[in-house]
């Protein structure tokens, strides 16, 4: 996320396609963080499959998407 914050400073230099991907990245990242925060605040037991999904699987997909975005930036 640190690199993504740094890339926000240079967002004006990117083309429209990269900007769209970058916006999708931030929406998915912040949405996942919000859901994780809400899970941590509940006192109910949560299904283990959901915990594994939100702690491991979804962040890996988001990281892969960010790698794709940086590939597009480099290719430009």
- pLDDT tens for each residue of 47-67: 777 777 777 888 999 999 999
CB 69 within 8 A of CB 21: yes
Number of domains in the chain: 1
CB 70 within 8 A of CB 25: no
What pLDDT is recorded for position 55? 79
* DSSP state for residue 43 in the 8-state scheme: -
What pLDDT is recorded for position 41? 79
Report, as ranges of residue numbers, the positions in the chain whose pLDDT lies below 50.
Answer: none
Structural domain for 24, as ranges: 2-75
Which tokens is 65 given? 């998407």
What pLDDT is recorded for position 26? 93
CB 14 within 8 A of CB 69: no
Task: Give the containing element (helix H, strand E) for 66.
Answer: helix 58-75
């Amino acid at each position: 996320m640190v690199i993504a914050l740094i890339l926000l400073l240079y967002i004006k230099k990117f083309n429209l396609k990269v900007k769209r991907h970058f916006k999708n990245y931030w929406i998915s990242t912040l949405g996942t963080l919000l859901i994780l925060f809400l899970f941590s605040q509940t006192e109910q037991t949560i299904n283990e499959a959901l915990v594994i999904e939100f702690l491991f699987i979804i962040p890996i997909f988001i990281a892969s998407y960010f790698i794709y975005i940086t590939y597009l930036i480099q290719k430009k």
